Chains A and B, each alone.
Chain A
Amino acid sequence: MNFVDVLRTAVANSFRSKLRTTLTVVAIFIGAFTLTITSAIGTGISSYIDTQIASIGASDVLQISKAPEDQGAAADNGPAEYDPNAATSGGGFPGGGAGLSFAMLTDKDVDTIAGTAGILDVNPVVSVSPSYIEYGGNGKYELSVNATSAVTKPDLAAGVQLSSDADTNQILLPTSYLENLGFGDAESAVGETVTIGIPDYQAKMHEVEATVVGVQNESLFGSGAGLGQRLTDALVAVQDTGKPAGPGRTYFAATAHIDSNASQEQIDAIKADLAADGYRGQTVSDQIGTIETVISGIVGVLNAFAVIALIAAGFGIINTLLMSVQERTREIGLMKAMGMSGGKIYALFSAEAVFIGFLGSAIGALVAIGVGSLISGALASTLLADLEGLQIMQFAPGPVALIIGVVMLIAFLAGTLPARRAARQNPIDALRYE
């Protein structure tokens, strides 16, 4: 029997008992479907994150905060000794006291960080709370600010990125602001001047003008407007007008620029230097890496379930084929009596197993691609519309082919036992079988 005949006969045999084959195929289908969907989610999310990281491109920015080393110590060894010089957040809240022990950066810390080798400049992250934004007398709208705008380079719909050494007040508007403010489209907003209203310490409203340099797509990293360093400074100046002189300012974090060509080792060295001084420096990809780890953990768990489903399906294949071997005992005996070798009989049953595996996995993968694309497209325009460019499921040919291949391999392995049993049959015993 030649190869083509073996395949053809195996395929024909698998269709002989349609119900049994169908049920086994369904079992494999479920596993392959799940595996295709989960792997597509993995691909979709990580490719989204990759484009986000790429669009940020801010490998030259470190976000620096106090290392939270004291917290572990507090849990193990009781409260740490009180240090009147240590700045903590919460000091300003009534009754808050030192209970909120989130370590803050002081101006002195900022100077220390600036003195670390490899750090080009440091800007403390300050929070500004403007009240409204207005363009051309079209009405005042609430303005929320993206606190991380200084460190990220968001995906732009029009215009250019904020520049750190500009001599004008720069602002990046999210696409969602355009319509309310009265801009026709993203292009027309670029270069226009908007007015920002911000109250000072005594709640007296002031206005600051800013130029729109670009329009950003909605992304993972904050959805507010991005403010240039100069605009931030101007707003802070207004905000602090009339503030009584206090005990020096504190910050949650600071952003620092490093050489944009720095290698990973150099970045690691800077981080180590910062750590030695009690600060924690993280690049944007470090921060995103954490998200990615969590997501790939979830995808991994989903994959594990799919693999369990496939293993169960594998036993289904063993069962199906054992029944086939039993049912066809006579036929096997007849073929052996007519000179078919044990190897060919083995190949015949293995091919049948692999074919059933192929059928289940190919249908599973195809249906998964169809259903997944529909769901993913629907989600992208509804639930996930705020995350532009996120296709929650992406079906790449490589992983899909791999899944089909793995399922066929599992099917082959599952077919080994029944196929061996068939191949070893003695023609006479098989022919006598009732």
Chain B
Amino acid sequence: MLQAQDIRKSYGRGAARFDALKGVSLTVHAGESVAIVGKSGSGKSTLMHLLALLDSPDEGVLLVEGSNAADLKPKEINRLRNEDFGFVFQQFFLTPNASVLDNVVLPLKIAGVPPRERRERGMAALAQLELADKAKSKAVNLSGGQKQRVVIARALVGSPKVIFADEPTGNLDTVTGGLVEDILFDLNKRGITLVIVTHDVELAARCDRQIFLRDGLEEHRPTITTGSAS
């Protein structure tokens, strides 16, 4: 589904130049769950953004369902971002003064889905995350765990093929974190591909596969699994 071949990305120029990715290759197959693990600053988010077509690599090739991302037209890239991908950002990025429902249906609104259908699908997604009663609340008034669930609802409302989640449990307590994890793996069971960036080893262990990053390079370690994994 997604394939990266020796991709490199650097930020800044001259003396300030920093190589965030120094040649990473990986493949994400449809329906699997992949964890990108590494220390802070190792380039995990950079790699995820490249895979999600939010940014383009300086070197190397990125294939989306077999076609080179560099050759895709802006319109096609926008369609992929809107329909095929769902995003869970580390910092939520909710519009604070808009209602929870409005926040959740943003991808549908961008897609041009009519208001009625938008409402229905938004409510369904919220119900799935047990947040239907909060639909009319302002996003700013939610607790951290509720916000995280809203962000997941927003990621899945457009029925994407892939969900990219950057530190989805990073700022949650263990109980709520576990809840969010369950939701994500539940989605994975229903066929949605997961790409999860995390530094949490336990979360990484629940994924089918891990990619370890260190200073912009892939480190080859044996795949870890936990006995309790579903």
Seen from chain A, the residues whose Cβ lies within 8 Å of a Cβ on chain B are 1-2, 5, 9, 16, 330-331, 333-342, 344, 426-428, 431
* Interface contacts beyond A333-B93, A334-B106, A431-B93: sample of 20 additional A-B pairs, CB < 8 Å, sorted by A: A1-B112, A5-B112, A9-B109, A16-B97, A330-B93, A331-B93, A334-B93, A338-B106, A338-B107, A338-B110, A339-B83, A339-B107, A340-B82, A341-B78, A342-B74, A344-B110, A426-B55, A427-B54, A428-B49, A431-B89
Which residue of the partner chain, among B81, B95, B97, contacts A338 with CB atoms under 8 Å? B81
Q: A5-B112, A431-B93 are in contact. Are A338 and B87 (CB under 8 A)?
A: yes
Task: Collect the chain B residues with CB atoms within 8 Å of residue A334's CB.
Answer: 89, 93, 106
Q: Are A339 and B109 in contact (CB under 8 A)?
A: no
Give the secondary structure class of B's interface.
helix
Task: Collect the chain B residues with CB atoms within 8 Å of residue A9's CB.
Answer: 109
Q: Are A337 and B74 in contact (CB under 8 A)?
A: no
Task: Collect the chain A residues with CB atoms within 8 Å of residue B129's CB.
Answer: none
- Mask, B108-125, CB within 8 Å of A = 1, is 011110000000000000
Complex A-B: 20 CB contacts under 8 Å = A1-B109, A1-B112, A2-B112, A5-B109, A5-B112, A331-B93, A331-B95, A334-B89, A334-B106, A335-B110, A336-B81, A337-B87, A339-B79, A339-B82, A339-B83, A340-B78, A341-B75, A344-B110, A427-B55, A428-B54
Q: A16-B97, A341-B75, A431-B93 are in contact. Are A335 and B54 (CB under 8 A)?
A: no
- Mask, B53-95, CB within 8 Å of A = 1, is 0110000000000000000001101111111000101000101
A117 CB to nearest B CB, Å? 77
Q: Are B111 and A339 in contact (CB under 8 A)?
A: yes
Q: A16-B97, A428-B49, A431-B93 are in contact. Are A335 and B74 (CB under 8 A)?
A: no
Which residue of the partner chain, among B49, B55, B81, B97, contacts A339 with CB atoms under 8 Å? B81
B156 CB to nearest A CB, Å? 13
Task: Collect the chain B residues with CB atoms within 8 Å of residue A336's CB.
Answer: 81
Task: Collect the chain B residues with CB atoms within 8 Å of residue A330's CB.
Answer: 93
Task: Collect the chain B residues with CB atoms within 8 Å of residue A333's CB.
Answer: 93
B166 CB to nearest A CB, Å? 10
Seen from chain B, the residues whose Cβ lies within 8 Å of a Cβ on chain A are 49, 52, 54-55, 74-75, 77-83, 87, 89, 93, 95, 97, 106-107, 109-112
B31 CB to nearest A CB, Å? 22
What is the bound-complex CA distance between A338 and B112, given in angstroms? 12
Q: Are A339 and B93 in contact (CB under 8 A)?
A: no
Task: Collect the chain B residues with CB atoms within 8 Å of residue A344's CB.
Answer: 110
B230 CB to nearest A CB, Å? 29
Q: Are A339 and B112 in contact (CB under 8 A)?
A: no
Task: Collect the chain B residues with CB atoms within 8 Å of residue A2's CB.
Answer: 112
Q: Are B54 and A339 in contact (CB under 8 A)?
A: no
What is the bound-complex CA distance between A336 and B55, given in angstroms? 11
Q: Are B89 and A339 in contact (CB under 8 A)?
A: no
What is the bound-complex CA distance between A334 and B109, given in angstroms? 13
Task: Collect the chain A residues with CB atoms within 8 Å of residue B111's CB.
Answer: 1, 339
Question: Which of A5, A336, A337 is packed against the most chain B CB atoms within 10 Å?
Answer: A337
Which residue of the partner chain, among A5, A337, A342, contacts B81 with CB atoms under 8 Å? A337
What is the bound-complex CA distance between A338 and B54, given in angstroms? 9
Task: Collect the chain B residues with CB atoms within 8 Å of residue A16's CB.
Answer: 97
A301 CB to nearest B CB, Å? 46
What is the bound-complex CA distance between A9 and B112, given in angstroms? 13
- Nearest first, the 5 A-B pairs at minimum CB distance are A339-B82, A339-B81, A339-B78, A2-B112, A340-B110
What is the bound-complex CA distance between A341 and B73, given in angstroms? 12
**Residue of A whose beta carbon sits closest to that of B118:** A5
B49 CB to nearest A CB, Å? 5
Question: Which of A338, A340, A344 is packed against the most chain B CB atoms within 10 Å?
Answer: A338
Task: Collect the chain A residues with CB atoms within 8 Å of residue B77's CB.
Answer: 339
Which residue of the partner chain, among B55, B82, B110, contacts A428 with CB atoms under 8 Å? B55
What is the bound-complex CA distance between A341 and B77, given in angstroms? 9
B18 CB to nearest A CB, Å? 14
Question: Which of A2, A333, A426 is packed against the most chain B CB atoms within 10 Å?
Answer: A2
**Residue of B whose beta carbon sits closest to that of A429:** B55
What is the bound-complex CA distance between A342 and B110, given in angstroms? 12
B56 CB to nearest A CB, Å? 10
A405 CB to nearest B CB, Å? 29
What is the bound-complex CA distance between A344 and B81, given in angstroms? 15
Question: Which of B52, B107, B110, B111 is packed against the most chain A CB atoms within 10 Å?
Answer: B110
What is the bound-complex CA distance between A263 and B79, given in angstroms? 70
Task: Collect the chain B residues with CB atoms within 8 Å of residue A428's CB.
Answer: 49, 54-55
A343 CB to nearest B CB, Å? 9
Q: Are B54 and A341 in contact (CB under 8 A)?
A: no
Task: Collect the chain A residues with CB atoms within 8 Å of residue B55's CB.
Answer: 426-428
